[in-house]
Chain A
Amino acid sequence: MATEVLMPALSPTMTEGKIARWLKSEGESVRAGDVLAEIETDKATMEVEAIDEGVLAKIVIPEGTEHVAVNTPIAVIAENGEEAGAAENIAPASRAPQETPVKAPRPSPPPATSTITQRAVPPETEYTGKTRTMTVREALRDAMVEEMRRDDTVFLIGEEVAEYQGAYKISQGLLEEFGARRVIDTPITEQGFTGLGVGAGFAGLRPIVEFMTFNFAMQAIDQIINSAGKTRYMSGGQMSCPIVFRGPNGIAARVAAQHSQCYASWYAHCPGLKVVAPYTGADHKGLLKSAIRDPNPVVFLEHELVYGESFAVPDDPEFIVPIGRARIARPGEHVTITAFSRMVKLAMQAAEELQKAGISAEIIDLRTLRPFDVETVVASVKKTNRIVAVEEGWPFAGIGSELAAIMMEECFDWLDAPVKRVAGKDVPLPYAANLERLAVPQVEDIVAAAREVAYR
């Protein structure tokens, strides 16, 4: 049976080309891999190879012809021993269908009220049990200890996490209790140990990857986003990567630009990740436990200046906080102030100041940045009609920018003032004490912003 040779598409964008030259003539026998012709595309000259052996029975498109559309028959190959005249009764080559063979009806995608995806989040039950006063540092350690006792597949890996007990002393006592198999000091090799963690996650373990700071995770961001974040989707749901990337994020104290940056909006941008940035001790503990149990990659952003703060923290090893819910840290009526991580503390202090001026601020601790709790923020703004979005990071394309967009989409008609952002200044963080203070949001900045939107 003779078969047609079709004008091939030789690049993702090629629609037509020129037959520059035939290298075989009619009647010549060809073997698989022999070059039949040269084709000029808009980008390059490419060779067309024979797929099967046979005889070049007929050249349909002569050389020199331009604008030959992809899939046009250009030659006929007859099987060996077949008459060259077989070209006359050829079987049409299976040609690319003009339309996809099965046109599935196109139901509209799930209705999205917002441009961002929202998902069902488990309810949060109010904890009424015993608490203990402890630092955030201890709450994080307890979360890891409890989860490591509960599940042998959980392990901690990172720089100085074992023998040194953690660069910020988060992993105190872990090596002693769990041994070197599960508390693993790495070389200084972020991309390597992050990718190793991702591979272990694919294999069904539950790694906690500690970054000494999230600044160093920039070395590993390809593994976090491309490997951990996208593989579930790219595998059609076959693969999972249950992994936690945690460590201090944002500023510290006088460590300058390369060690002081907030990555919240970087990671919150990416589907396939969950992103958490808590403030209180209970939230650090409950959310880290949720993150460790979560079947997805979770970026867990801590803050060096919060590690030493003390809170009442639930004592129950089954206490968890669901990822995806914001918390009303202080109810109020006149203005909504959103914040996360250390900025919650400043927002609470600002609320005290505002109260003295007769302005009642509702403080929302966002806690989770992806999936974002649109509902809680929108409900608050529909009550207060004003919003100030506070973050430590840079303003451009930040979490505050996203909140401004959400407000436009979700409560345009409820706003009595433009959305106001309070963010870090748009400069690399300076070292000098006075400049550093100027670069980072202060309580007075939040107070001023709230008064501005309240027109008081």
Chain B
Amino acid sequence: MAVKRKSDSVKFADLGVSQQELLRYYGDMLLIRRFEERAGQMYGMGLIGGFCHLYIGQEAVVVGMQAALKEGDTIVTSYRDHGHMLAAGMDPKGVMAELTGRRSGYSHGKGGSMHMFSREKNFFGGHGIVGAQVPIGTGLAFAHHYRGNGLICVTYLGDGAINQGQVYESFNMAALWKLPVVYAIENNRYGMGTSIDRASARTDLFHRGMAYGIPGEQVDGMNVLAIYEAGLAAAEHARSGQGPIILEMMTYRYRGHSMSDPAKYRTRDEVNRMRTEHDPIEQVRHRLLEDGANEAQLKQIEGEVRDRVAEAAQFAQDSPEPDPAELWTDVLAEA
């Protein structure tokens, strides 16, 4: 069984990723960063309510994985889902309008931050119960397998969800039936306020499929190209009929668990060190400049991102609340 561990970070030039593609990753990650900052700001202004889990710091994971997927592959995740939706190509306006609880939101204001979906972009949520998305993602992979359509499902879960029993029920069935699923564990080191070493008897999560013969690999989750490379190989593994595979993305969230988390369980120094030394966006920016991209190109991307986020924020405030009659709709589909 191939459980391997990757320690060196990827050599950018060896991957055959063009500067054009790298510029796109830069823009995609920056969009998530700026979107989330704005969401945090709007939460502070009382425009967004309830729970709001920001993705800042983890942007490379979804952008790198998305680049490794094919049209039609499906995605499902938990409640820290804004980044996944933007990476899947969902419209920032519709996502932000859902955060403000307006009728133009993806769920018409009925789902909020944790519950959004896009059939068009093959994004199957946005699920609020920790770990529940794992059997669901396994079921999406089951459907690909049943139809024999050559597609795969990427099921994201966190280091908190990894200790839920249903995760292992899923691992077992996925391995038993060789389902085309990539389990992408986003290990950001904290399940809410509990650090991984206080929650997990063994903290090397890529080993968690070993009992089922599922190969696993640890990936530098702050490095978009490392993720892209690992994602390509994992997707190929799942697509080729070899069954599930686990990627453990070593990542970090800069913000608290949710907006109302004072984050006293970790030091400011720890956060600052990650931001200054491992920021996924700064790494790519640095690499682009070294590779001969110029400041003007980056400035242009930054300007476009700023405009898109501003437009989304404005849209989300201008869109009306759902019609009161909407209270009663969408409970059941018409038989």
Contacts and interface: CB of A to CB of B under 8 A. Distances in A.
Q: Do A and B come from one complex?
A: yes
A2 to B, nearest CB: 16
A433 interface: no
Contacts of B165: 191
Given A6-B44, A33-B275, A187 B172 contact: yes
A274 B334 CA distance: 12
Nearest to B323: A104
A200 B146 contact: yes
B260 A43 contact: yes
A205 interface: yes
| B: contact size bracket | 35 or more
A198 B332 contact: no
B332 A119 contact: yes
A290 to B, nearest CB: 8
Contact of B146 (A51, A70, A181, A202): A181
B255 to A, nearest CB: 9
A252 to B, nearest CB: 26
A199 B124 CA distance: 9
- The CB with the most chain B CB atoms within 10 A, among A11, A45, A200, A235, is that of A235
Nearest to B43: A9
A227 B47 CA distance: 27
A238 B176 contact: no
Interface in A225-265: 226-227, 231-240
Interface of A, helix, strand, loop or mixed by DSSP: loop
A268 to B, nearest CB: 14
Given A71-B46, A97-B317, A117-B328, A11 B142 contact: no
B325 interface: yes
Given A233-B110, A239-B119, 20 more contacts: A9-B43, A94-B317, A95-B45, A102-B318, A102-B320, A107-B325, A187-B173, A192-B135, A198-B135, A202-B136, A203-B124, A203-B139, A232-B330, A232-B333, A233-B330, A234-B110, A236-B105, A238-B106, A272-B332, A296-B333
Interface of A: 6, 8-12, 32-33, 35, 43-47, 51, 70-71, 94-97, 100-102, 104, 106-110, 117, 119, 122, 155, 181, 186-187, 189, 191-205, 222-223, 226-227, 231-240, 271-272, 274, 290, 293-296, 323
Interface of B: 37-38, 40-41, 43-47, 49-51, 74, 76, 105-111, 115-119, 124-125, 127-129, 132, 134-144, 146, 165-166, 169-170, 172-173, 176, 254, 259-260, 262, 264, 268, 275, 317-321, 323-325, 327-335
10 A-B pairs closest in CB distance:
A199-B139, A195-B135, A192-B169, A8-B44, A236-B108, A203-B143, A11-B260, A199-B136, A237-B330, A102-B320
